[in-house]
Amino acid sequence: APDPATDIQLALVRHTARGADGPRGSLFVNPGGPGASGVDFVKASVDYAVSRDLQDAYDVIGWDPRGVGASTAVDCVDDAQLDSFLYGETEAPPGTPAHDEELVQASKSFAESCAARSGPLLQFIDTQSTVHDLDMLRALVGDERLNYLGYSYGTSIGAQYAQDFAGHVGRMVLDGATDPSASSFDVVLAQTTGFRTSFESYMAACLAGQGCPFRGSVDEGEKTVATLLGRLDQSPLRASDGRELDGQVMRSAIDSALYSEQQWPALTTAFTEALRGESGTTFALADSYFGRKPDGTYSGNFYEALVAIQCIDYPVERDPAVLVREAAEIRAAAGELADDDTSRDGEPDPLCGNWPYPARDAPAPVSAEGAAPVVVVGTTGDPATPYSWAEALAGQLSSGVLLTYEGEGHIAYDERDPCIVSAVDGYLLGGDPPAAGTTCG
């Protein structure tokens, strides 16, 4: 029998191939996060995950990586505690010593609670370990080679798999690529730049359209938002359920909306409401970002797993001089929307800096010598996985092939652009990767 102290159970689901010819094997899919459930992805969103043609040809398999969802899962806090951590952990306004103290204490107690409720599992949910699980699952379903479609952080799993098991790589597509060589600072800096660029695209579209609450230039619109964020930090809006809408929650809502151009109208509504003291749409956007359902429960353990996996994958910078320099770079990249609270600039990340276990891995480039072609898809306007990362990953992989989508939003294949779909499906179904440098959109 499995021993809960030392054994990990993995949940997976198979969407059986629908074609008359029977399956040509399995296609593993992962939606990213880290912390997102591959089981839910296939159960609830298989048409979003893969095209109908792929569903006909392959058994589509979703799994919850170790630490996530229905597998042996990280557990840190209950839903009410997560609410208070994400929405109103601090009473004092940012920039005050009292605020910094509250932030550190809340982060420490979150980390301690993760250790107490998750046990030794926390040490072993790094991406490297997940990759070894994936190779075991590949063997269990009877495939000699892994066919794989990974999104966002799912590209980290795919790239590391190719590095560790190059000879087992079948047809692999990585969409919304991460750069395996990027440090946690590199990641934050690139995402800050990416979200700022996307926000400027959003603001330009808002100003050119109907019902925009802003006036003037993109720059003036950004200044209005910056003023709003500052006001919310000083005096948050209260939701009917008692949660606080401060600048941080508004930032989460903005980031959430920038993942997809289809959410831009909702962001305009959120701003319109917030400028007159209402919070409904802002909370709806922030809630979708954190996996919070309208009834106040959270789907799966997305946020807890996200934090726990990142804290074990990335070493923590603790040199105050380096941290001050990095904070200044991030602030410069954020422009008008920068958080102007400099009081913690020399301090390590409050969560990972207080984590019970040190990182097991460190970022490093991958080459995957001898692997079959790996198609890397990048979107030029992607805020969360900037296009430069797709270029970097395709360049690092000895068999990398870059496929470019010129457009907005995070990841390309789900937008069902016919050019992208034919390139991706053409490889996964026919075995011929797109020509290097193919551009769609």
pLDDT one-digit tens code per residue, 45-87? 999 999 999 999 999 999 999 999 999 999 999 999 999 999 9
Q: What is d(CA 218, CA 214) in angstroms, rounded to the nearest whole number? A: 9
Residue 82: which of 287, 254, 282 has the closest Cα? Answer: 287
Residue 4 within a domain:
no
Q: How much is the pLDDT for 96?
A: 87
Question: Along the 441 residues of the chain, how does pLDDT read in single tens digits?
Answer: 777 778 999 999 999 999 887 788 999 999 999 999 999 999 999 999 999 999 999 999 999 999 999 999 999 999 999 999 999 767 888 888 898 999 999 999 999 999 999 999 999 999 999 999 999 999 999 999 999 999 999 999 999 999 999 999 999 999 999 999 999 999 999 999 999 999 999 999 999 999 999 999 999 999 999 999 999 999 999 888 889 999 999 999 999 999 999 999 999 999 999 999 999 999 999 999 999 999 999 999 999 999 999 999 999 999 999 999 999 999 999 999 998 888 889 999 999 999 999 999 899 999 999 999 999 999 999 999 999 999 999 999 999 999 999 999 999 998 779 999 999 999 999 999 999 999 999
Q: Does residue 153 share a domain with residue 28? A: yes
Helices 247-258 and 264-275 cross at an angle (nearest 10°) of: 160
156 and 43, same structural domain? yes
Catalytic residue among 51, 118, 152, 201: 152
| Calpha distance 372→375 (Å, rounded) | 10
Q: Is residue 230 part of a domain?
A: yes
* Residues 175 and 189 reside in one and the same domain: no
Residue 330 maps to a domain:
no
Residue 400 is classified by DSSP as E
Same domain, 206 and 169: no
Instruction: Report how far apart the first and last C-alpha atoms of the chain are (Å, whole number).
Output: 53
What are residue 408's phi and psi, to 5 degrees?
Answer: -100, 165
Kindly report the backbone phi and psi dihedral angles of residue 214, in degrees, each rounded to the nearest multiple of 5, phi listed first. -105, 160
Q: Give the domain CATH number at 410.
A: 3.40.50.1820
Establish whether 233 is a catalytic residue.
no
Q: Tell me the C-alpha distance between 163 and 157, whole Å.
A: 10
Per the annotation, the verdict on 252 as an active-site residue is: no
Contact 296, 241 (CB under 8 A): yes
Q: What span, in angstroms and rounded, lies between the C-alpha atoms of 215 and 429?
A: 49
Domain residues for the domain of 223 are 184-287
From 382, 414, 417, 425, the catalytic residue: 382
Nearest to 423 by CA among 409, 438, 441: 438
* 248 and 146 co-located in one domain: no
Residue 3 located in a structural domain: no
Helix (H) or strand (E) holding 65: none
Among 250, 300, 314, 258, which residue's Cα sits nearest to residue 278? Answer: 250
Residue 339, amino acid = D
Which residues are CB-neighbours of 262 under 8 A, at least 6 positions away?
Answer: 409
pLDDT score, position 89 = 64
Note whether 314 and 374 are same-domain residues. no
Split into its structural domains, the chain has a count of: 3
Asked if 83 and 129 sit in the same domain, the reply is no
95 in a structural domain: yes
**Could you tell me if 426 and 305 lie in one domain?**
no
Beta bridge partners of 401: 375
Quick check: bond before 434 cis, omega within 30?
A: no
Examine residue 260 and state whether it is found in any structural domain, yes or no.
yes
382 belongs to the catalytic site: yes
Does one domain contain both 192 and 306? no
Between helix 218-234 and helix 264-275 the angle, nearest 10°, is 60
Of 100, 126, 410, 425, which residue is the catalytic one? 410
Is 329 within the bounds of a domain?
Answer: no
Residue 425, domain member (yes or no): yes
272 shares a domain with 206: yes
Same domain, 29 and 158: yes
Residues 199 and 261 both lie in one domain: yes
Separation CA 63–CA 85 (nearest Å): 28
> To which residue do tokens 């982060």 refer?
107
Q: Is 215 exposed, middle or buried (0-12, 13-18, 19+ CB in 10 A)?
A: exposed
